[in-house]
Structure 1
Amino acid sequence: MEQSPGHVLMKKGKRLAAAYIQAKCANSLHHRSLDDLLNILLNPAVAIDDVNTIDWCKWLMAGGRTPDEFSSIVRRYDNATTCGLVWTANFVAYRCRTCGISPCMSLCAECFQRGDHDGHDFNMFRSQAGGACDCGDTSVMKETGFCDRHGPKSQGNKPAAPTDLMCVTEAVMPRIILRLIQHLRESSKSGAQDAHLVAIQEADAFLTMLNDLSAMGAAMRRTMTSALTNPSIYHQLTDIGVLTETMALTEFGKYMIESHKIYEEAVNSLPNPAPLHEHKDIAALKVVLVHKTFLEELVFWTVKLEFPQKVVCLLLNMLPDPDYKESLTQAFVLHYSRISMMLEKSSDPDTLSNRVVHVSVQLFSNEALALRMAQNLNLLHVMVISLKYMMVKILIPSTLHEADKNFHYVVDCGRQVMREHCYWPLVSDLNNVLSHRPVAVKFMSDVALLEMWFSFLSFFQGMNVNQRELSTHVEFEPNTYYAAFSAELEASAYPMWALLSHLRKPESVDLTQRVLNAALSALQDWFDAIYITQPNLVSDLESYQVSFHLPLHRYLAVFMCQAINLQGRTLEEVLPSHNMLQLIMIHPLRVQVSARL
């Protein structure tokens, strides 16, 4: 029986077979023996962690050299201008506030020590969520803080890699990535609760290989990112529409059809919040999720499998490639609303939160990139809608004032979303993007977006009511107060201070006024909802209840102070009507009185 070209090649041994393939690829010859060999090595029926398969892949890419020799040569052509070293939780890193443009900038120990930070305002910290070194990134830190190996001027003398060095890797890489995607698809087939953990464990050696390849530097990363972000490659290798009738009847054709079916079922199992009609055209909020590249599908599986650490590191390791960084950010935003839904139903929200922020902080710390996402993909709307949707599902009737006349709803502070701070990654990301002035200006310039934001804040207005007990001793105090105060601090106050930091000059007073108008409108809606129309319509019974959570009042007060103290407005210009002012005073005064009882 005649053997296939792939089997003939395998008999030559790894080194000779690799050298043969290298010669063909170097002369731009697409030899079918390589395709046949990859069909054997990367057959989905073979376990993804098969040691022999991984070793064959390494030797093939080396092109006749040993894998170690190949790695050493590729590293010589690493002309990346940024460090990009990725670390996980508990890694010791540095932050220099003197050099930082973004408050989220961080440096690995080596880059910090090789840079000049004498006399700077810096600190050493133990990373909670993980991170990546920003040395060399002009969008995150000043060039004066770069070490001698990173920055736009540091790699100018390094030559480009010769075309024949990476030619086999360019041919092999799409198939390697396809094999990973196939494995991740299969992981959702069983439906078992721990299927995602098993899938990642099984792919550990394969992921290690990919991470090791990325560590070779810019030349290898360009090859990897090209395969990940090329729509044509993704279409050619995954679209079952390209199968002829004859191909569909083969073993591989049947596998492709089954794999695509599993993929579609997985996509449909991860819904997004139902958008309002005016937001239905936002790409990240569409009901049907459409992936166009391997990178977009890989981000989907990262979300679906709750951000496995090795996959997260793989995605982040390639960030020094600026085109890839943009593509990853777009893919991340595309899945953002679905990430919020994973957070609220996770069995380990703390770990998942840290891993989500590990990714997002690297993407949204870049001002120009964050602004493009806000302009092109409606990032701000997606963030606010995701936050709002997370809270909508845990609303309960407000117990302030007369229950039968009150139609206001507040968050239930006893639910997991509040107790476990599941909202924290979304708020952290919002604070991050609002630290960029152009993004914050866009936020405050959009009246509809401000209305949506204050609608979200109203969920915290009057939450976790405290009722004074007059008859019996309270044996057990509820612990919901901690969740309530944490939520108002993180989800309300932090974004408020982020916005306020951009309103220090008279020319921005119009933005301040927009926020004040939105706050007053939200307060009026709240007074209507709790049926307070006059300040004297408060019964004796109501005087024994108080909520310490008045974010709408706080926004109004703080932005008023800003307008008067820094932006040239007079008190008369910013004060609401006399009747409204009396209504606004009721609840803060009640807090003051209760604090003295």
Structure 2
Amino acid sequence: MSLCTECFKKGNHQRHDFNMFLSQAGGACDCGDTSVMKETGFCDRHGPNKGANKGNAPSDLMCVAEAMMPRIIFRLIQYLRENSKHISPDTYKDAIRDADFFISMLLDFNNMGGLMRRVMTLALTNPQKYRELNEVPENLDTEYDQYLAESKRIYEEALKSVPNPEPLEEYKECPSLQEQLVHKTFLEELVFWTVKFEFPQKVVCLLLHMLPDPDYKEALTKAFVLHYSRIPMMLERSNDPDTLSNCVVHVSVQLFSNESLALRMTEQLNLLHVMVVSLKYMMSKILMQNTLHDANKNFHLVVDCGKRVMKEHCYWPLVSDLNNVLSHRPVALKFMADDSLLRMWFTFLAMFQGMNVNHRELSQHVEFEPNTYYAAFSAELEASAYPMWALVSHLTDPSTAHLTRRVLTACLNEFREWLEAINFTSPSMNDILQVSFHLPLHRYLAVFLCQAVAKQGITLDEVLPSSETLKLLMMHPLRVQVSFYIDDLKINRNMHSNKISKRSCKKRKGRMIVTLEFHHQ
């Protein structure tokens, strides 16, 4: 959570030890949000008695602001439309810079207090005002009518420039996975331009500074989810994906950290499906033929770790958001209770299974190791292992055993498809010159099996596959172990050829021989 300076100073910090730092990217103050903080930590302006002895404002006090605010916001929308033509990283930065005073004025309005903030949020979320101000007359008699028509044309062209990933057939009716975006409020269109302009800091601050209004917070979260599946494409296009990633998470962490809100988005807008579809979409564009075993008989596709998406971690904000929402127990349980979602997730994980194959070089020394190692290990850790531990943390007793069984079933189904795709039909298939260290399906199977037996009262007989399948599943982890010990022995021989003791050498050889014999069996 974060606090603005004013709320922090007005809070009770008696006998508290604290460390203060200033956010360089702005943010939203969480004081007053009971989903983030206990009420005892609120300042006197946001505490439980903040409304005591306060009367209602006169009905005519804000009438001018209420009449003008929708038009002021619409002018910002029109400006963003005008400057979206022939957009490039330089031009959109210039456009936002030129609008700095106008956006600052809106921020000043918000800082006037709750009354003006309420006027702003109502204007942003009012469908009728959005429809009225956007309406283009048929005759186009005036210059402004012609301007409105041109503004609308530019807007419609811009919508086509940010396409949506192809959703599964059963989710084509989901509002957040529609091919064509349909905006109903100024807020929804403003979020669209925020995505299109790659999350300019000033606009992001404007959106986040109004979060103390609970109705607005839900409306902003809905608008963000509606545009979420468009974000992967912007990350791929960006000249500075690292900065853009931080900007995306700066918004999403404010919205998805609220458990009740994340759960509502999951139920109403299929948030989990949107996130997994977005991740699959990003990775599906960088797939290559897997080269494990016989490349001519292997039709499995894995991610190319040399591509920019992997090397620059363009997927990071999507994975970070998924881990965030899976930290909420009700959301995680819904994830594991949905068979179609689990199938989609394990299909995504299979894109990492067997990636970045290591080939043993026998003829000459490898002078420089390829930098795909870092990309591969980072991706498996962030996109595979972190969500796995988030899910497992909620499976702590027999009451969730049925969910563990669902996960294991989905994992084994994907395993069988993977074994078929790489044409691995017998444990005796010998291939000593290559190995992949990336086996996320094995990792999931091992961890969920362990949790099932240790914490949930499930026996191995209930969840293990046939002995034939088990033998096939064991071979690739054993291959990794053999590789490790061969390399370990080779390095130690090179480094300590004259110093290594016979006892140590015998011990190392013994370990290697045991592993190799197990592999042969």
TM-score (norm 2): 0.89
Q: What does residue 341 of structure 2 align with?
A: 449
Question: C-alpha separation between the residues in 2 aligned to 1:229 and 1:415?
Answer: 40
Q: Secondary structure at the match of 1:139?
A: coil
Q: Which amino acid aligns with 1:578?
A: S
CA contact under 8 A between 1:129 and 1:354: conserved in structure 2? Answer: no
| Alpha-carbon distance between aligned partners in 2 of 1:125 and 1:567, rounded to the nearest angstrom | 43
Equivalences for residues 152-163 of structure 1 within 5 A: 152-163=48-59
**CA offset at residue 123 of structure 1?**
6.8
Unaligned runs of 5+ in 1: 1-104
- One-letter code of the match for 1:402? D
Letter paired with 1:466: N
**Equivalent residues of 2:35, 2:258 under 8 A apart:** yes
| Counterpart in the other structure of 2:115 | 219
What is the one-letter code of the residue matched to 1:272? N
1:196 maps to what in 2?
92
Deviates more, 1:431-440 or 1:563-572: 563-572
Among 242, 257, 261, the residue aligned to 2:153: 261
Q: Superposed, which structure 2 residues align to 1:40-189 within 5 Å?
A: 105-108=1-4, 111=7, 115=11, 131-189=27-85
2: CA distance, partners of 1:490 / 1:122: 30
Structure 1 residues 342, 139: CA separation in 2 closer, same or farther (over 3 Å shift)? Answer: same
Tell me the SS of whatever aligns to 1:560. Answer: helix
2:470 corresponds in structure 1 to 581
Counterpart residue identity of residue 64, structure 2? V
Matched, 1:231 2:120: no
Q: Is the 8 A contact 1:130 1:354 kept in 2?
A: no
Q: Contact 2:27 / 2:209 at 8 angstroms: preserved in 1?
A: no
- 1:281 corresponding residue in structure 2: 173
Aligned to 1:132, the other structure's residue is in SS state coil
**TM superposition shift of 1:129:** 6.4
Asked if 1:334 is matched to 2:230, the reply is no
Verify the 8 A CA contact 1:115 1:146 in the aligned structure 2: yes
Task: Indicate how the Cα distance of structure 1 residues 385 and 513 shifts in structure 2: closer, same or farther if over 3 A, else same.
Answer: same
What amino acid is aligned across from residue 354 of structure 2 in structure 1?
G
Sequence identity (%): 70
SS in 2 for 1:396: strand
Aligned with residue 447 of structure 2, among 558, 561, 567: 558
Letter in 1 for 2:60: D
Map 1:534-545; keep pairs closer than 5 Å: 534-536=426-428, 538-539=429-430, 542-545=431-434
1:322-401 map, 5 Å:
322-401=214-293
Structure 2 CA distance for partners of 1:579 and 1:128, relative to 1, 3 Å:
farther
* Distance change (3 Å), C-alpha of 1:145 and 1:286: same
- Note closer, same or farther for the CA distance 1:365–1:151 as it changes in structure 2 (3 Å cut): farther
Partner of 2:424: 532
Q: Give yes or no for contact 1:272–1:285 (8 Å, CA) kept in 2.
A: yes
Q: Cα distance, 1:592 vs. partner?
A: 1.2
Q: Report if aligned partners of 2:28, 2:211 keep a CA contact under 8 Å in 1.
A: no
| 1:291 and 2:183 aligned | yes
Matched, 1:305 2:197: yes
Change in CA separation of 1:534 and 1:450 when aligned onto 2, cut-off 3 Å = same
1:489 aligns with 2:385: no
Question: Do residues 593 (structure 1) and 489 (structure 2) align?
Answer: no
Partner SS, residue 482 of structure 1: helix
Amino acid at match of 1:529: A
Deviation of the 1:174 alpha carbon: 0.9
Report the AA paired with residue 476 of structure 2: H
Residue equivalent to 2:510: none
Is 1:437 the counterpart of 2:326 in the alignment?
no
1:110: how far off?
A: 5.5
Tell me, yes or no, if the aligned pair for 2:289 and 2:300 is still in contact at 8 Å.
Answer: yes
C-alpha change, 1:125 and 1:465, in structure 2 (3 Å) is farther
Give the secondary structure class of the aligned counterpart of 1:444: helix
Deviation at 1:382, TM superposition (A): 0.7
TM-score (norm: length of structure 1): 0.78
SS of the residue aligned with 1:543?
coil
Distance in structure 2 (CA, Å) of the matches to 1:150 and 1:415: 49
Question: Which residue does the alignment assign to 2:436?
Answer: 547
C-alpha spacing 1:497/1:350, structure 2 compared with 1 (3 Å):
same
Cα deviation digits, residues 549-589 of structure 1 (max 9, x gap)? 11111111111111111111123323222111111111111
The answer for unaligned runs of 5 or more in structure 2 is 487-521
- Structure 2 CA distance, aligned partners of 1:124 and 1:172? 39
Query: What secondary structure sits across from 1:410 in the alignment?
Result: strand
Contact 1:134/1:141 (<8 A) preserved: yes
CA distance in 2, matches of 1:128, 1:581: 52
- After superposition, residues 505-520 of structure 1 pair within 5 angstroms as 505-520=397-412
CA contact (8 A) 1:128 1:354 kept: no
Give distance in 2, aligned partners of 1:551 and 1:449: 17
Q: How much has 1:393 moved relative to structure 2?
A: 0.4
Q: Call closer, same or farther: CA 1:320–1:405 in 2, change over 3 Å.
A: same
Aligned match of 1:80: none
Answer whether contact 1:137 1:151 (CA < 8 A) is retained. no
Q: Does the 8 Å CA contact 2:40/2:47 hold for their aligned counterparts? A: no
Offset of 1:451 from its aligned partner?
A: 0.3
- Cα deviation for residue 366 of structure 1 reads 1.1
- Indicate the SS of the match to 2:432: helix
**What SS is found at the alignment partner of 2:229?**
helix
2 CA distance for matches of 1:123 and 1:582? Answer: 54
Cα separation, 1, equivalents of 2:438 and 2:390: 20
Shift of 1:150: 2.4
Deviation at 1:590, TM superposition (A): 1.2
Is contact 1:130-1:355 (8 Å) kept? no
1:130 and 1:506 map into 2 onto residues whose CA distance is 44
Relative to structure 1, is the Cα distance of residues 113 and 499 closer, same or farther in structure 2, using a 3 angstrom cutoff? farther
Determine the C-alpha separation between the residues in 1 that align with 2:356 and 2:21.
35
2:308 to 396, 416, 419: 416
Structure 2 contact 165–281 (Cα < 8 Å) conserved:
yes
Cα distance between partner residues in 1 of 2:179 and 2:477: 43
Q: Is this contact kept in 1: 2:292–2:354, CA < 8 A?
A: yes
Q: Tell me how far 1:511 sits from its aligned partner.
A: 0.6
> Structure 1: which amino acid aligns with 2:445?
L
| AA partner of residue 154 (structure 1) | K
Change (3 A) 1:117 1:587: farther
**Counterpart of 1:556 in structure 2: which amino acid?**
L
Tell me: CA distance 1:328–1:557, structure 2 relative to 1, closer, same or farther (3 Å).
same
Q: Is 1:129–1:357's contact at 8 Å kept on the other side of the alignment?
A: no
Per the TM alignment, residue 475 of structure 1 is displaced from its structure 2 partner at its CA by: 1.5
1:500 aligns with 2:392: yes
Give 2:104's aligned residue.
208
Provide the C-alpha distance between the structure 1 equivalents of 2:165 and 2:80, rounded to a whole number of angstroms: 24
Residues 225-281 of structure 1: per-residue CA shift (max 9 Å, x gap): 1111101100100122xx142xx1211111111111011111111111122322211
Q: Cα RMSD over matched residues?
A: 1.9
**2:518 corresponding residue in structure 1:** none
Deviations 1:412-437 (A, max 9, x none): 11111111111111111111111111
Q: How far apart are 1:115 and its partner, in Å?
A: 4.6
Cα separation, 1, equivalents of 2:299 and 2:22 = 46
| Superposition deviation, residue 504 in structure 1 | 0.6
Whether contact under 8 Å (1:106, 1:133) holds in the other structure is yes
